Amino acid sequence: MEFSVNHPALFWLAALVILYVLGQSVFFLVKAWRRARELGISADRLRSVVTGSALFTIAPAVGVLLGMISLSKFLGLPLPWLRLSVLGALTYELPAAASVAKILGLSMEQQVGDATVYISIAWVMTLGILSGILIILFFQKRMEQRLHRVKEKDAKWSAILMDALFMGMIAAFLGMVFADIRMGLPGWIPVFVMLFSALIMAICGLLVKKLKLTWLENYAMPISMLGAMAFAIPLTRWIGGA
Amino acid sequence: MKPSLYEARVHTWGRVSLVLAILMFMSYPLLASLLFGAAPDAGLVFQGLLAVAPVFWVVGAIEAFTFGPMLGSGGAYLGFVTGNLTAMKVPAALRAMQVLGVKPNTPEGEAVSTIAIAASSIVTTLVLLLGMLLLNTLRPVLESDTLAPAFKNVLPALFGGLAVVFVAKNWKIAVAPVVLMLAVFLIQPRLSGAISLLIPVGALVAILAARWLYKSGRL
């Protein structure tokens, strides 16, 4: 069979893997939904989790789509479609592909024309990021048991520990937003965008509390995220940091 | 307390689905080899892995030990297969648990986090599928200079809102890791490329600060 990065057979192969992962998501969704119902959480509240999570995901997912488009210039569509629909993120897939391109002196603006190179890149992308999944496979049960023991010993500290874990992650991203401020005003754009997002979220919080708009609680995050992303457009034009 | 059927089986479901997922991921290059009659170049794969694996295996391991406990077992088994954890799955799970007022590391938190991650994964898959099918129509819009600043700022837009909710609730715990991370990025801005390595540092500082506050009766 003559090789092409966009060969129809490659689309089918990618679709097969993506279908499996989609099936896994549906399986866990159904199981967790039933469990939540057993625990007395109403179907309405669970539906709001699904719609809220779905809305919240659209903007980052479009960002992933942009990554897929940029990788497709080098690898065609099926492989980036597969890699970014499952396991990977652009922050990994791009350096993985770039590392092989660099070794061979290939331009990432030109499509790979050789099957051996293409398959080698696919292997690097597949094997280079397996550690997380392997650790979850072997250690998740043990981690859960350990956390349960902490909870049995001291329930209050267990809750604080989880909050601290989340705060650590959020703090890292908050710090990162300030990384470019030494570049001058354009470097402040991410900071202003973050503050705008925080402002919208605070306004939503006030509306929920003061006007009892409880339905808004579920949509506050997507609204603040999309609002801040939209704000970045005129802000960047005004400051001139595109 | 006797564990529920879900709690008793989630690890079996998770482990079986992870093993199958790994096999499915490997099937793509394997079957592509068979289709085109071309083997991978072992030297090239080795050199390529040498360039990325040392960093990304460490990142993957750190993410697993940091996010595994946050997401609960169902969420972790699913989230690590569907990927995009920091920018999508973890915030989705956090948001859902906060909106429903349930805590992580509880049966309710586990179920809600898993539902949020599953919904987020399904939507991502559908957006990418639609994007691919409508590529020619969408490409000029998505790649336009007008929209570029919006997509460049997804993370600040996401974490601004998230921070308000969590810092407001846990401001005492937030002070130490936020000050540390601000200092780190102001001194060494290039570390923004190594954010995954800094998340556990932030988490460790937050845990130590929280422990001190808790032990001294301030929490």
Rounded Cα gap, residues A238 and A174, in angstroms: 23
Q: Which member of A56, A121, A161 has the closest CB to residue B210?
A: A161
Rounded Cα gap, residues A30 and A51, in angstroms: 15
Distance from CA of B167 to the nearest CA of A (A): 7
Write out pLDDT tens, residues B74-100. Answer: 999 999 999 888 888 999 999 999 999
Nearest CA in chain B to A97: B48
Contact B135, A58 (CB under 8 A): no
Q: What is the pLDDT of residue B1?
A: 57
Contact B153, A232 (CB under 8 A): yes
Lowest mean pLDDT among A96-110, A144-158, B122-136, B178-192: A96-110
Contact A75, B23 (CB under 8 A): no
Nearest CA in chain B to A99: B48
Does B81 contact A86 at a Cβ distance shorter than 8 Å?
yes
If we measure between CA atoms, which residue out of B107, B22, B104, B116 comes closest to residue B70? B104
Q: What is the pLDDT of residue A94?
A: 82
Task: Work out the widest C-alpha separation in chain B, in whole angstroms.
Answer: 68
Q: What are phi and psi of A113, to 5 degrees?
A: -110, 0
Q: Which member of A127, A174, A230 has the closest CB to residue B159?
A: A174
Does A194 contact B156 at a Cβ distance shorter than 8 Å?
yes
Contact A165, B66 (CB under 8 A): yes
Q: What are phi and psi of A99, to 5 degrees?
A: -65, -40
Q: Is the pLDDT of residue A158 over 70?
A: yes
Q: What is the pLDDT of residue B112?
A: 97
Which two three-digit tokens encode residue A57? 């995901």
Write out pLDDT tens, residues B96-152. Answer: 999 999 998 899 999 999 999 999 999 999 999 999 899 888 888 888 999 999 989
Does B27 contact A13 at a Cβ distance shorter than 8 Å?
yes
The three-state secondary structure class of B148 is helix
Tell me whether residue B37 is exposed, middle or buried, using C-beta atoms within 10 angstroms of its C-beta: 0 to 12, 13 to 18, 19 or more.
exposed
If we measure between CA atoms, which residue out of A101, A90, A116 comes closest to residue B51? A101
- CB count, 10 Å around CB of A240? 9
Residues 87-116 of B with CB under 8 A from A: 87-88, 90-92, 94-96, 99-100, 102-105, 107-108, 110-112, 114-116
**Mean pLDDT confidence for A167-178:** 93
Q: Is the pLDDT of residue B32 over 60?
A: yes
CA distance between the termini of chain B: 29
Rounded Cα gap, residues A164 and A149, in angstroms: 18
Contact A112, A5 (CB under 8 A): yes
**Mean pLDDT confidence for A103-111:** 87
B61 vs A: CB within 8 A: yes
Q: Which member of A127, A139, A194 has the closest CB to residue B159?
A: A194
If we measure between CA atoms, which residue out of A134, A161, A136 comes closest to residue A147? A161
pLDDT-derived band at A89 (thresholds 50, 70, 90) equals: confident
If we measure between CA atoms, which residue out of B115, B101, B110, B130 comes closest to residue B10? B110
**Mutation choice for A interface testing from B27, B113, B124, B213 by most A CBs within 10 A:** B124
Does A179 contact B191 at a Cβ distance shorter than 8 Å?
yes
**Mutation choice for A interface testing from B34, B44, B66, B169 by most A CBs within 10 A:** B44
**Residues of chain A positioned with their CB less than 8 A from the CB of B12:** none
Q: What are phi and psi of A213, to 5 degrees?
A: -85, 70
pLDDT-derived band at B27 (thresholds 50, 70, 90) equals: very high
Contact B156, A190 (CB under 8 A): yes
Give the torsion through C-alpha atoms of A120, A127, B19, A10, to 10 deg.
-30
Does A65 contact B28 at a Cβ distance shorter than 8 Å?
no
The three-state secondary structure class of A6 is coil
Residue carrying the six token digits 């874990």: A165
Give the list of residues 6+ apart from residue A187 with CB closer than 8 angstroms, or none. Answer: A180, A181, A241
Q: Is the pLDDT of residue B7 over 80?
A: yes
Rounded Cα gap, residues A225 and B33, in angstroms: 42
Rounded Cα gap, residues B19 and A218, in angstroms: 35
pLDDT-derived band at A242 (thresholds 50, 70, 90) equals: low
Rounded Cα gap, residues A113 and A25, in angstroms: 34
Does A167 contact B84 at a Cβ distance shorter than 8 Å?
no
Nearest CA in chain A to B19: A137
B197 vs A: CB within 8 A: no
Rounded Cα gap, residues B143 and B196, in angstroms: 27
CA A60 to chain centre: 6
